[in-house]
Structures are given as structure tokens and as C-alpha cells.
A and B are shown apart, each in its own frame.
Chain A
Amino acid sequence: MRIASKHPLLFGTALALVSAAALYGCKDFLAENATPQGTLDQGTLSTKTGAEGTLIAAYRQLDCNRTNGAWGCAASNWVWGSATSDDAYKGSEATDQPAIDEVELYHWDSPGAQDYLDQKWAAMYEGVSRANAALRLAKAVASSGQLSASDANGITGEAIFLRAHYHFEAWRMWGNIPYYREDDTDFRKPNLQSAQVVTELLRDLDSAAKLLPATPRNGQKGRVTSWTAKAYKGRVQVYANQWAAALATLTPIVAAEGGPQSTTKTGWDLSQSYDQVWTGFKAQENGPETIFAYQASANDGEPEGYNANFGERLNFPHGGPWGCCGFHQPSQNLVNFFQVDAQGLPLALSAPSSWNVRDTNFTAADLTVTVDPRLDWTVGRDGVPFKDWGVHQPGWIRAREWGGPYSPKKNVHEKASGAESTVGWVPSQLNSVNIHLFRYADLLLMLAEAEVEAGSVNNAMALVNRVRERASRKAQGCGVPTDTAARRVLVTRYPQCAPGGTADTRIAVPINDPSITWARYAVGQYTSFPSQTYAREAVLAERRLELGMEGQRFFDLRRRGIAATVLNAYFNTGVGGGAEKNRRAQFKGAEPFIAKHNLYPIPTNQIQLSKIGGQNRLTQNPGWPQ
């Protein structure tokens, strides 16, 4: 201390220098602490694993997931394509997800509807963004020699296809949308005109078709092929009313149907029977019917069931074995639509002024009416066996006055399929039933539409009859459940389901099987399409019967330009003898469907976010507020 006291300045300076040096000496002190923790960096992903994984993430976005919210982004489009149409109600009860009521009643500029629109918009562009990221990585990794040419082409083709799919989804919602490619850096691009978007879509689908192999890479069934891209191209052309082009695209695809899949064979066909289309049985999933589907998985190690049918999880009967939530209930109008005449043809065509008179619950007791068997694969109704879960009962309905007496059925797994999740919030509503994004019957009926527009109504009729013939093969059977209590209820009601003590566990049976006592089924074949107008109606009716509750109906009505007529009649003025506003009181509040409803409003939030220099770069669709 003597030095210190004698030479205080020297000592102090030395001390200051030493401490400064100690701190500054570790020059990297700040840099060392700057690395993000617990994340991956660009370099790690610039590999084959990174490029492939980024592509996988682009596929995953096909359905809602834990980071992009709830039901507005469901792969099935049940909010946008079904609840808004004459197929279905939001269902459930008034106070649950009231935003979907706003969507259903065409209050699309309400805050609730805007939230949902924003969800869908964001989910679709996240898909685009993931696909574009995969494209950028594939390019970088391929140029560094870490990818084989076929993998590079495969990744690129799949990513371009997915990008087209997400844009298509956005386009059929909003029409005038911006189109983003992998080298875009300005994310406030103005929107394109609807027709320009179609050009972009077709361009991408053509590129994808050229790059993709004819069979899925690595034999993984979820991947798209050159056939998928071609089929999707036909779909886009149909949506754009490019009938001649669609005919040219789809005809060779159908000509190449059947398998095994190769450069000359699509591998696609109608599945054996209708019950095999929406199913949890693994053996039936990804059958010949599947063109493109969201591959749901359950019990895959993910602890919350997020990869299961996440977007559909509300759409189960509220009671019975599920416990929640009773959304997406079939409308009375849809149920009535399944009635057939003496020829087994849709009553809606043969009795246009009276087919929709019935206002009351259509139960198993109504045996005087003959119906298309697809009714009982599409709609759960009282007294009818519900796959192999037992008899659909009144107590399964959440709020009958609000949502009517029917339950959705297609997305529900068969108990025996083992597709149910064991984890997650209400695991009984989580399953691995794939969500069809494009299936073969849809394609056939689109081709039928193109044939009608080309004037070849007989070709169209053949396609329709082919779909109907498949529908006539199987109807809902006893499906006696393994659950003792449910079995007792079913067997008490239908003793024939337990002949001689052996339970009839068949879920699907021939439509005239003697075990069926809850319905009379018939599916007739058309013998002629007397006019182009009739043919148009028949094809559209067939689409409704075949694709009911699959999120297609609203878009079908809109692209055919008949949404206003059909939907105003559905809610208000009445069609076929009934109007839905007289069945469900809340529909008195529906806004009339007018020209502006032919496109959803672009979320105003996104318009705001597109501003540059005080100017919106996104332009709102006609009739909607900025």
C-alpha cells in the first residue's frame, strides 16, 4: 500500500488500465454473447436435409397447425366452402365461435369474419413462403453439388406445385391476389387481376409437371407427382371456366386411369365403394381415389395431436363418445337434397318445387322416403347407425334449436380403424383421417362439366353415371360397436344386427342388405340428359351429392355464377318449398348475397400492412371497404 499512497495517480492509472484491459482484452466478449440460442441457422439448413425438411414444412401447412390458429385455415375449407353454402351450418351453439356465424351470414366485414379471413390469408401465404424457401434452398444446395439432379428436380417440382396450390386456395377465396415466387423480396406487391393469377397458376403447374416424376419420390404417398400437377391444372382451368382447355387437360388423364402408377398410368380410379373415400382404415386411405390429400397422423409422437385432423377437430357430434364440439352441422336443405324419386334420381331435379318442403328432423323412422345412400355417409341422423359408433342419438346434438338435428360424418373415423388419437385436448376428436384436397370423383365430375360445356352431354352423363354406380355399391350397415352400452342401444333398436348372438359389425353393406331397416336407399342411372341446361344441373347436383360437406359447394356455386341465386333462395326466398330462415331463426339475420360476395374481402388488416408511402398496395375487392 505504500506505493499506492506515494504515487496515487500512478497506482490509479495502472488499476484503471488493468481493469480496462481485462475487459477489452476479451475482444469477443460482446460477439460471443450475440449468438442466438436454441435455433438453427442458415448454414445448417443449406444441406440436403435442410432442403428436404423445408419442403416437408411446406406440405405441413396444408392444414391448420399450432402456429397459425384455429379453424379458418382448415384443409377442408369447412368454414369458407361449406358453412357459407347451402350444405351446412356453423352449428354448435350461438356463443361458440360466433365469428363463423358472421361468415355464414355474409357479414364479411365484421371484425369476427375479418379475423377468420386474416387467418386463412396468413396460412396460405405461409404455405407459399415455405414453398419458396424450399425452392431457394434446393437451388443453393443443388449448385453446391449436395443434391442429385433427380432430387433437385423433385424438390423443386413439389415446391412449385405446393406454391400453386396455396395460391389457388387464396385465388378461389379472393380472386385478385398477389403471386409470390422464390426470388420475390418485396412483400407488399400489388395484387394481380384474377385472370393474371390464373396465368401464373397454370405456368407453375406446367413447370411442376415437367420437373416431377410420375410416381411419388421415395415412394412416399403424400408427395405429388407429374400426374398431380396435370390434374390440378385441369381443376384450375375448370375454375377459370376455360372449358375447352380443361377438356383437353382432363381427357387424357382419365384415359390414363388405373394402375399401377407410371408414366403412362395415373394409378387413379374411383375407390371400390363410397365408404372407402373418407376413412380411418389405413388399408383404404391413399387408395386410387386420392389425388392429393392432407396426410393426417395421430399418435405420431407429437404430444398434443396437432398433426391429426386439426382443422376438423370441432366437427364431431357434441355428445356420445366425443364430448365436443358439434360444429359444421349439415343443413336441412342438404338432407332433403338426398331424397330420390322412383327412378332413384335426385328429387331436386324431378320435383324442383317440392323437394325441400320437409322442415322436421329426418330420422330413421321416415321409411316412406327413399334416399341416396350417400346421405348416411355424409350426415349423422337420429336412429341411423353412425359408422361403428352405434345409433346416432338426440343427445349427441349440442343445441338443436340452433344447429339442427344432424351431425357431420365424413371426417369421423371408424372406431375399429384405430385412427383415434390418444393424446391432445379431447383426443376422441383427433384422428388420422386424411383430408381430401382433390379426389378422383371430383376430377371426373369436373371433366363432366367440361363435356357439358363442350356440348357432349352424353359423355358427361356417362361420367355422372359412373360416379353414381360407385355410390350404389355400399350403404351404412349395422356397424355394431365394441362399446357395451352403445352396442346395447343399437341391438335393442335393431335386433337383426345381432343375429344369433353374432354381432353384425359390418360398417358398409350392399344398399339392399336385409340388415338395413333405418332407411330405403336407391341410386338410379340417368338415361338421358335432355338438354345442356339439364345436364349442367345434373352434374352440379351430382357434385353436391358426391362432395357434400367437403368444402367444395360454395366455390362450385361461385365459379358457376349462381351463388347469389342459390344462396338467397336457400336462406330467404325459399327453394324447393322451404327456406332455411324458417328452420333456424338466426338466419333471418343473413345479409342478402349480392355481387360483392362473389369474392371474399381481402382482410383489411392485410391491406393496411401493404402500405408503402401512405398508399395501399393491395386493392380491395369490389364492394368491400378498404
Chain B
Amino acid sequence: MHRSATPPRPLRAGRVRSLVAAALGLLIGLAAPAVARAQQMSVSGTVTGAEGAPLQGVTVTVVGTDIRAVTGGNGRYQVTAPPDATLNFSLVGRRPVQTSVSGRGTVDVTMERVAYLEEVLVTSYTEQRRSDITGAVASVPMEAVNRQTNASVLQRLAAATPGVTVDASGSPGSRSTVRIRGISSFQNNDPLYIVDGTPVQDSYVNWLNPNDITSIQVLKDASAASIYGSRASNGVVVIETTKKGLVGPPRTTLRVRTGMAQPVRGYDDFLIQNSLDYFQVVKASYENAGQPVPTNIFGSATSPRVPGYIWPNNCGPGGAPGPCNTLDLSGYSYPSNLIMPGSTGTNWWKAVFGTGKLTDVNLDVSGGSPDNAYGVSFAFFDQTGTARYNEFKRGTVRVNTEFRRGKISFGENMALGAERAFGGIGNDAFGEGAILGKNILMQPVVPIRDVAGNFASGKAVGLGNNTNPLKHAFETRNNVSHNNRVFGNVFGAVAPLPALRFQSRFGFNVGQSTFAGYSYPTPENREPTNTNSINENQREFLDWTWSNTGTYALTYAQNTLNLLAGTEANAGRDRFISGSIGQLLNTAIPSRYIQDPLGDPATKNVSSSGGRSALLSFFTKADYNFADRYVASVTVRRDGSSRLGPANRWGTFPAFGLGWHITNEPMIPRSRWVNDAMLRVGWGVTGNQFIPSGRIVAQYGGGRGETFYDIGGNNNSIIAGFRATALGNPNLKWEENRSTNVGTDLTLWDSRLNVVFDWYTRKTSNLLFDPRLPATAGRAAAPIVNIGSMRNTGFDFSVGHRAANWNVTFNGSHYKNEILTIAEGRTEFSGPYGVRFGNPVRNRVGHPVGAFYGYVVNGFFRDSADVANSPKQAGAKPGRFKWKDINRDGKIDANDRTIIGSPHPDFTAGLDMGFRWRSFDLNSTIFGSFGNDVFDTQKQFYIFRNFDTNVRKDLLANSWTPTRQNAKYPRLDYTDTYSKDLSSFYVEDGSYVRLRNLQIGYTIPANTPWISRALVGTRVYLQGENLFTITGYDGLDPALPALNVTGAAGDVRDQARGIDVGTYPSNRVFSIGITTSF
């Protein structure tokens, strides 16, 4: 233990914004009296880490002067200093070193890492030493974050932090579902993000350039998070971008990365690719049903052949339906008489999915003097999706500055972001209608293009009614979303005494997002559409947060007390305008505007909507430390929300935490094995009010298409009507989340092993939710009420080992979510997402949110005797699924459905490893999810062939027959409308282990011959992401994003997790990158 090296405590409180230990060193320099200049000498040297690698970015200051330097990539520095000077070396995450020059010309220094408990973290309005933190706070290892290529920093959090899960699709720039320790509400479970002190709730955070981020802390329990009371019930992610410069000349870092992406798996891996193979499935499903096999496409069932043409398909004798092998092509006309050639086997997956490209360029410049510091960065990110015509682009500029004038400091952090996302795939456009879902399950006999080169589709009877997925991608390639953002804050602080400091910060989040889309005609479809239309919308919003805090630090003997008090006001408004028009005369992009002459003005539709909300808060916090042995903190926050009922607007959120630093007890002997041990206990209450605003009172409205009516019988005129659209609840109050956390931080074996373990339980009560009303109450949106409760219990841990040339961190987490009560008299309700054959989700007391629901497969009916002897079941026949008689009433009906699975994993784990050998380094991250189920609704299509889609390759060979009783699938029978009912057949184990990342780097060493010195320290690397996956899941990708489902009370995607509706698979990315500084 080297606690003596820790800087004195009052300084920590005094310089709140100084994030890094480096700044502490700087302060020492400022505080010391000026020294008269004696004779000077040149001092140079190399700074290395304890593990031997050169350290870049170390600030070297000559104590008592303004002289400073920063080490380059080779760890080298050079300063001019008096021979008796003292040099101070400082770097984030390293223990500062001071050493005397003593006349030496070369001063080489080795810097040790800061021990875990001595890390300084920015948590709640202030920064704290890890050993003073009593709550569950995880620091995200930025090295692991930077090893990933996702556009969103949120998606890079996965696998790196225990207790944090991230789900996202493979679409570039897609939405992320970040969950901290499971979920605590029926809706709106996104954590609160605090970016440079400004709160924001956002599922994308794409406007933030990941390279700008200095640190990320995850506040997981209430005792850590409750200072953010109002919106902290789902945890808080504190993101700091303050990559400001240090004193010295401008230092520039350039990072360039480029790569290629492919989907981790394709449907062509397991769907039939040959037209005649597919016909065998059709044939069996008719023959088994005792029906004549359709002949209109492949001709005779006994000698089928791929037809010359599949449309028009009345080529049978006398114009009857039949296969077309010869046809007069001159009859072709678009769009009324299309002719499509039969295909021997179209690979629809390959038609749409292929290789995507990735480019990420980042340049930042930073520098400063004792009185100011600045950091400026520019970045450009461009990724094309693995699906055709899908692309995400982003440009960002960030300027962070800080100025110090004696006791006053002020500055700003500001980011400008511009994003563009192209293509009809959209971040959340999953399900049937998009290119994935059933559209990609086109039969192999359907050609991509017709005889004239126009897009084809399955127009003949028996080819389904899907849209050509390539056409969909092509026609919507110019659908574009823009998202422009100005996000940042200005702040000023005054520290009239070293121990007292006041700060005021005004944060803003100003955004504008637009979308322009095109709906194309589909004359080639089975259900053709001959009209076109465009739609566009624009949302603009302004969110501001003004916080004022004061901190005071008291030290008396071995007692330290830090006090914080503050107020915060937050208000936001947004406005959404959308419009559409159809039947454009010219569909070229320059003509895609909503103007009367450009289309049919009768189809024009324009509307706007908006929202306003506000929060007001008062909070205080006291942190007490006695001799670094006992730590205690108490927080109280009082919040008012405009969203809640006037009488219940204000909520009070208390929390406390206790810490015992066991190894600092004098009676505990020092041990090499246990270097440091701390026990933590925390308890606290957080709140949630994140519901649409204005739901206190009943709302009325209507629309021309639903309440207006032609009462006069005029045929073409309507008069206005109104209906209740939403019922209000004047008694809305805060949802409350009470959590208890018990944790320990251990540093073992000469600081080589860090162990952090936390156990928690949290109970949410007064859940804000809009339980569905019986239809007899009408269709107005049900009032949001405070009902029900749920509990999450779990643990998370991380174990890290650090040796000279290698390090490894293993983290794991487990949670159990359980609905405790729903409402008086109610024990369950259905999920918000219906699929073709029913609703797969039932939220039921005693089970987790989003549990799967259906029949339990109890084998197949073996024969007619088995049918007769089994409980009576509608549609029972040999080879069909037999359901389990759950309620044992001797018959099978809807009451025999039960909970059949859970999308929640039992355990998730991340393994991060690093090796170093000479100038090479190797890093990898493995992620695993265990025990989660997936509800594969695609089986509706690729097993049950709903809409005549393509099917799995093994369907024919593994279907039930009288001689294949132990089959995987039920008997092929197109009249079997029973076996497809939602059941445990759709539920599969979604566990998987995936190599998220593997990176090999090389840093150009100082002594490299024939390399310019300027390039020394430059690192080049090769990396692969998602290189392999081990899973038993039969579908495309077990790493499913949550669906985009919104109810009247907000985002309810947690009630539709683990449902595979055909989602954009993860990407396997190979990239190469270079990082250099000069």
C-alpha cells in the first residue's frame, strides 16, 4: 500500500472539474511559489509503465515553473530545467511520480497504475475517489470500448461492464437497448445518460463521437444514482468527453480505421435454394392432406420441372391455370402484363445481403496553458450496411474549452453532430414488411427480375404475396433520415475558498430530425399496388437543464466531510410535423415534395403534434470519511415533475451508503495477499416519471378517417366528429424503485488481482403503466395508473488480473426479474406485440416481464388410436402436435396455454484479455449469454409456410411421417391450421458465446530503423469482430435487438424481447486502423 502518495483530500474537492490526476499535479505546480531562474539544463528521458511499455501523453512539469512537456508515443520527453529542479509526472490512471533532477541529463521514470480503489471517478455532480464510493459504480474500460467499430458508443458498452447488457441490430447506427441490472418497469427502461453533466434520455446517442469520450461510469444502484433521483431508476451512465488539452503546445492525434462487414449468418445457410427441392415440400403438404398437388407452376407432380415462365400462368389447356414453357414475349407490357421467367433457384439472401464498408476518421487537437485548456475534434464516420442500399454517415465537431482566472473558472463543452441514414431498412423496420421478415423468405422459383428487367415477384397462385426484398431495398434507397444535433453546456465556477466552490452549468440539447420516405408501386405483386406516395416528417426539440451546485469540504483531524447542495431545472419541448402526398407525376428525387401540382392534392395529408414537460429538483449530499476507514454518504433529492398529478408532483428520494475499508483498520495486519479490502452497503430510492406529458386529464380528438362522417348522405362530404382519445388520471404519482446493494472491492496478491462483487435487490412499486381496459370502456387510450410492483434480484462481479505482459478481466452478472403484483384482481396481461398466429407474450405475476406464452408441445399424435385416447383437441390428427393438458381437464383448449419461456438470460459474461510482446499487443473480448430463450416467429413462415414462403432445408427430411415418429417438425399438411398455434415449438434456447473482438496491434518502437521519428509511437492494428459464435439457436442470429414497440404510456420494448421477427443480423467486421500523434 502506498496511500501516502495520494494527494491531500481538500484538493479533490476544490478542483471539481479536474478529472485526472494530471491536473492535480498541475495544481501543485500552481500553488508553489515562483522560483527564480537559475542556470538551465536540458533533461530528457523515457516514461514507461510498470509493465514496460512506453507511456504516451504523460505530462512532465518542472515544479514551480510553467515549463512542461508531454511524452510522445515512444514515451519520450524533453524539458529545460534547473539542475536542482523537481519533475512531476502525471497521467490518467497512473500514480503521479515526483523526482529530483539532481543534475542528471536523463531521467527515466516508471509509473505504476493507480490501484483500483484510488481511481478518481466522475459520478454525481462531483468526482470521487473509488474508495469513497459506497454504491455500485462500474467504470467502463475505455480500451475495450475503443476496440469496437459500432457507430453508437452505447453498443460498445456490451460485454465490458458487469450488469450492463446492450442489444442492437446489425444495421449501422441502429438503436441500442441498454439495460442496467435487468429491467424495473413495464415501460421506458432506458438508463439516464449524463453527458458532461447534462442529462439526456436517448436510445441512439449516435450524435456522440465515441472517440471524444474520456470516461464512462455506470451507476448501478440507488445509493450511487439517487442524486439523479427523478430519472435514475434504470441506472445512470455518466459520460465525460472532457478530452481537454494539457498545458503545452497543440498535440494532434489522428485515428483512421477502415474495414469490411458481412452478416454473421444468412438465410441461405438454412433455407432451400433449389426450386424443385421446394416443390417437394409443397407436394408433400398437399399429398398428406389428401389434396391434388397444384400444377400451375411446376406441372405434373410426378415429373415437375422449372417452368419457363411463372406469369402469366394461364398456360394450361384452354387458358386454364398451368405451367408456361413457351410464351409470346411481345405481349409484355409494364405494368399491366408482366412476364416473369421461372428461376431454378434464386438466392434471395445473396441478392440483398453482402459486404458493407466502414470508414472512421478522427482528428483531435488539444493543448493549453496554465490559464486555459482546449480540445477540438473532428470526425467522420461512414458505414454501409450488409444489406443493400443501407448506409449510415456521421460528421461531428467538438470543442471543449476551460478558462481559469484565479478563483473563477468557466468554459464549455459543445458537440455538433450531423447524421444521415439511408435505405428502407431503418433502424427498427423489422418484421414482415421490411426486407427481412417474410419478404426475404421468397420462394427460389421466383426470379429477381422479369423478362424486361423490371423487378419481379411471386404473382402466380401459390407464390405468396411478398414484395421482392431487393426491390424494397432499391426503391427505398433514398429514404433518408437526418439527425442534426447541438449538444453541450456552458459552466462557470467560483471557488472563494479552497474548500468551497459554487458551480452553475447550463446544458442544452437541441435537435432536429427529419425523414423523407417513398412508397413505391408494386404491379408485380400478388396484391399489386399501382400508386406511389411520399411522406416526410420533421421533429425539432429543445431540452435545457440548468443546474447550480455548491460544495464545501471540511477537514478536522482524520474526519473529512464533503457537502454538496444544488438545484436543477429541466424543461423540454418538441414539435413534430408530418405530411404525405400520393400519386406523384414524377417520382425523381427533385420532385419529391409535398406540393399540390406535384401529385394528387386530394391525397395530401399534413399534421403536427407536440409535447412539453418540465422537472424541478433540489438535492443535497454529504460524504463523510473517517481516517479512510469508514465512509458514509447520505443523499436526499426532491423532484417535481409536470407529468404527474398536481397533488403528487413532488417526490423525495433519499439514499445512504456505508463503506468500511477493512484493510485500513490499524488492527488488521498488512498482508501481501490482501492489499485492500472494502465492504459497501447502500440503500436508496429512485423515481420514474417517464410517461407522455399531459396524461393527467382526458383528451379528445378524432380525425377525418375515424370520427368524421357523411351524415348528409352526400357521398363526398363529411362533417366533424369527436371522440375521447385518452383517459386521464389526475392522481398520477412517481414510480418508486427501492434498491439495496451490498458489495465488496478487493485488491489481492500485490495488487495483481482486483475483485468487485455486488449483490442487489430492487423493488419497483407504483409502476406507471396503462393496463388495458375492457373494450366496453371504449377505445380511448387507457389511463396511466400507478399499479403493480416487480422485483429484480441479482449479482454482478468482475475479476481482473494484471501482470507485466498480460491482463485478463472476467465479468459476469445475473438477475432475476419477477412481477410481484399487477393490479387489484389481475394477475396477467398480454404483451404489446402480436404475430400472425397470436400474441407470444404474457406478463404474469410470479414470472418475468415479457415471458413467452403458448401451448406446451407434448410430442405428436402417433396414430388414430392415440388421437382417440388423448385429451380431446381440435384438429387432432396423426403427425400433428399434441398439446399438454395443463389444467388436466381432459380436453385441450385455450386454457391449456401457459408460460413457456423467458427472454431474460440467467447469466451474461464478458471476458477481456490482453497480451503484450515487445511492440505487439493482442486483445480480445468474448461475450456470452446463457439461459435466455428466443421466440422464433419466423417459424410461422419457414416451417409453417404461411404466405407460401420459403422453408428450411431440412423440413422435408425431418417432418413427421408414420415411420418417422421422432421427427423435428409436424407432418407436412397445408390444411393443418392447428400445429402452427403458438407453442413451445417456437421457443428455442438463445444462449450463445461470441468472440466480440480480436485485435492485434503493433506500435512502432523508438529504435526502428528507416522510420521517421515522427512516426515513432504510431500504432497500427488489425481487428476482427464477431469472428465466431457458438450457439444452438437455429435462426439467423441469437443476438436479437429489442423490437421497437411503443404503447400509449411509452416505450414497451421490454415486453417484446427475444422475439425473432426477422432482424438484421450482427456484422462480422474486419478492419485495419492506425493511430498516430504529432
Task: Using A38-B608, A223-B711 as known contacts, say yes or no to A302 and B718 having CB atoms under 8 A apart.
Answer: yes
B371 → A minimal CB distance (Å): 16
Could you say which of B292, B548, B724, B946 contacts A15, with CB atoms under 8 Å apart?
A: B548
Q: Does A257 contact B (CB under 8 A)?
A: no
Which residues of chain A come closer than 8 Å to B367, judged between CB atoms? none
CB-based contact B461/A398 at 8 Å: yes
A594 → B minimal CB distance (Å): 12
Measured in the bound complex, the distance between the Cα atoms of B735 and A388 in whole Å is 64
Interface flags, A23-57, vs B, CB<8A=1, else 0? 11000011111111111111011000010011111
Q: Does A519 contact B (CB under 8 A)?
A: no
CB-based contact B465/A95 at 8 Å: yes
CB-based contact B496/A295 at 8 Å: no
CB-based contact A297/B717 at 8 Å: yes
CB-based contact B642/A285 at 8 Å: no
CB-based contact B602/A401 at 8 Å: no
Measured in the bound complex, the distance between the Cα atoms of B697 and A613 in whole Å is 27
A46 → B minimal CB distance (Å): 10
Interface flags, A1-14, vs B, CB<8A=1, else 0? 10011001101100
Measured in the bound complex, the distance between the Cα atoms of B700 and A20 in whole Å is 37
CB-based contact B707/A60 at 8 Å: yes
Q: Does A299 contact B (CB under 8 A)?
A: yes
Q: Does A125 contact B (CB under 8 A)?
A: yes
Measured in the bound complex, the distance between the Cα atoms of B502 and A16 in whole Å is 9
Q: Does A615 contact B (CB under 8 A)?
A: yes
Q: Does A260 contact B (CB under 8 A)?
A: no
Look across to chain B and name the residue whose beta carbon is closest to the beta carbon of A124: B775
CB-based contact A611/B713 at 8 Å: no
Look across to chain A and name the residue whose beta carbon is closest to the beta carbon of B604: A303
CB-based contact A626/B528 at 8 Å: no
Q: Does B321 contact A (CB under 8 A)?
A: yes
Measured in the bound complex, the distance between the Cα atoms of B293 and A533 in whole Å is 45
Could you say which of A38, A60, A67 contacts B709, with CB atoms under 8 Å apart?
A: A60
Interface flags, A601-626, vs B, CB<8A=1, else 0? 00011101111111100000000011
B665 → A minimal CB distance (Å): 35
Which residues of chain B come closer than 8 Å to A24, judged between CB atoms? 616
Measured in the bound complex, the distance between the Cα atoms of B703 and A181 in whole Å is 25
Give the interface segment out of A104-112, A231-239, A475-483, A537-545.
Answer: A104-112
Give the interface segment out of A245-253, A490-498, A504-512, A581-589.
Answer: A581-589
Q: Does A439 contact B (CB under 8 A)?
A: no
In chain B, positions 715-736 with a C-beta closer than 8 Å to chain A are 715-726
Interface flags, A86-99, vs B, CB<8A=1, else 0? 00000001111010
Q: Does B157 contact A (CB under 8 A)?
A: no
In chain B, positions 254-313 with a C-beta closer than 8 Å to chain A are 289-292, 294
Which residues of chain B come closer than 8 Å to A102, judged between CB atoms? 977
A162 → B minimal CB distance (Å): 11
CB-based contact B721/A295 at 8 Å: no
CB-based contact B827/A19 at 8 Å: no
B166 → A minimal CB distance (Å): 32
Look across to chain A and name the residue whose beta carbon is closest to the beta carbon of B291: A585
Look across to chain A and name the residue whose beta carbon is closest to the beta carbon of B974: A94
Measured in the bound complex, the distance between the Cα atoms of B835 and A115 in whole Å is 11
CB-based contact B605/A128 at 8 Å: no
CB-based contact B773/A187 at 8 Å: yes
Interface flags, B602-613, vs A, CB<8A=1, else 0? 111100111111
CB-based contact A612/B721 at 8 Å: no
Could you say which of B319, B494, B502, B603 contacts A303, with CB atoms under 8 Å apart?
A: B603
CB-based contact A303/B720 at 8 Å: no
Q: Does A438 contact B (CB under 8 A)?
A: no
Measured in the bound complex, the distance between the Cα atoms of B975 and A23 in whole Å is 68
Could you say which of B407, B609, B775, B948 contacts A122, with CB atoms under 8 Å apart?
A: B775
Task: Using A34-B693, A220-B712 as known contacts, say yes or no to A613 and B775 having CB atoms under 8 A apart.
Answer: no
Look across to chain A and name the residue whose beta carbon is closest to the beta carbon of B837: A111
CB-based contact B723/A16 at 8 Å: no
Measured in the bound complex, the distance between the Cα atoms of B529 and A427 in whole Å is 9
Q: Does B527 contact A (CB under 8 A)?
A: yes
Which residues of chain A come closer than 8 Å to B669, judged between CB atoms? none
Of listed A40, A57, A122, residue having the most chain B CB within 10 A: A57
Which residues of chain A come closer than 8 Å to B500, judged between CB atoms? 8-9, 12
Task: Using A65-B706, A66-B705, A111-B838 as known contacts, say yes or no to A589 and B711 having CB atoms under 8 A apart.
Answer: no
In chain A, positions 288-330 with a C-beta closer than 8 Å to chain B are 295-304, 306-307, 323-325
Measured in the bound complex, the distance between the Cα atoms of B572 and A346 in whole Å is 73
Q: Does B66 contact A (CB under 8 A)?
A: no
CB-based contact B774/A36 at 8 Å: no
Could you say which of A31, A427, A608 contacts B642, with CB atoms under 8 Å apart?
A: A31
CB-based contact A39/B709 at 8 Å: no
In chain B, positions 108-145 with a C-beta closer than 8 Å to chain A are none
Q: Does B751 contact A (CB under 8 A)?
A: no
Q: Does A389 contact B (CB under 8 A)?
A: no
B580 → A minimal CB distance (Å): 7
Measured in the bound complex, the distance between the Cα atoms of B981 and A30 in whole Å is 49
Measured in the bound complex, the distance between the Cα atoms of B527 and A282 in whole Å is 30
Which residues of chain B come closer than 8 Å to A339, judged between CB atoms? none
A496 → B minimal CB distance (Å): 24
CB-based contact B528/A323 at 8 Å: yes
A510 → B minimal CB distance (Å): 28
Of listed A35, A60, A295, A298, residue having the most chain B CB within 10 A: A60
Of listed A96, A223, A419, A608, residue having the most chain B CB within 10 A: A608
In chain B, positions 505-552 with a C-beta closer than 8 Å to chain A are 527-531, 546, 548, 550, 552
CB-based contact B502/A12 at 8 Å: yes
CB-based contact B893/A5 at 8 Å: no
CB-based contact A604/B569 at 8 Å: no
Could you say which of A222, A223, A427, A434 contacts B531, with CB atoms under 8 Å apart?
A: A427
B660 → A minimal CB distance (Å): 32
Q: Does A121 contact B (CB under 8 A)?
A: yes
Q: Does B408 contact A (CB under 8 A)?
A: yes
CB-based contact A29/B616 at 8 Å: yes
Look across to chain A and name the residue whose beta carbon is closest to the beta carbon of B780: A129
Look across to chain A and name the residue whose beta carbon is closest to the beta carbon of B892: A625
Which residues of chain B come closer than 8 Å to A50, judged between CB atoms? 722
Interface flags, B685-718, vs A, CB<8A=1, else 0? 0000000011111111111111111111111111
CB-based contact B705/A306 at 8 Å: yes
Look across to chain B and name the residue whose beta carbon is closest to the beta carbon of A419: B715
CB-based contact B530/A323 at 8 Å: yes
Look across to chain A and name the residue whose beta carbon is closest to the beta carbon of B842: A608
CB-CB nearest 7 A-B residue pairs: A36-B694, A129-B778, A306-B705, A57-B721, A56-B721, A221-B713, A297-B710
What are 12 sample pairs from A and B whose C-beta atoms fall under 8 A apart?
A8-B496, A20-B567, A23-B546, A30-B642, A37-B612, A57-B722, A94-B974, A299-B716, A300-B717, A303-B580, A303-B602, A307-B718
B interface residues with partner A (beta carbon < 8 Å): 289-292, 294, 314, 319, 321, 406-408, 461, 464-465, 494, 496-497, 500, 502, 504, 527-531, 546, 548, 550, 552, 565, 567, 569, 571, 573, 580, 582-583, 600, 602-605, 608-616, 618, 640-643, 646, 649, 693-726, 772-780, 824-830, 834, 837-839, 874-875, 893-895, 946-948, 974-975, 977-978, 981-982
With A107-B977, A295-B713, A297-B710 given, can you name 15 additional A-B contacts, CB distance below 8 Å? A1-B406, A12-B550, A23-B569, A29-B616, A35-B612, A39-B725, A56-B720, A111-B982, A112-B837, A122-B775, A129-B780, A300-B717, A588-B975, A589-B977, A610-B774
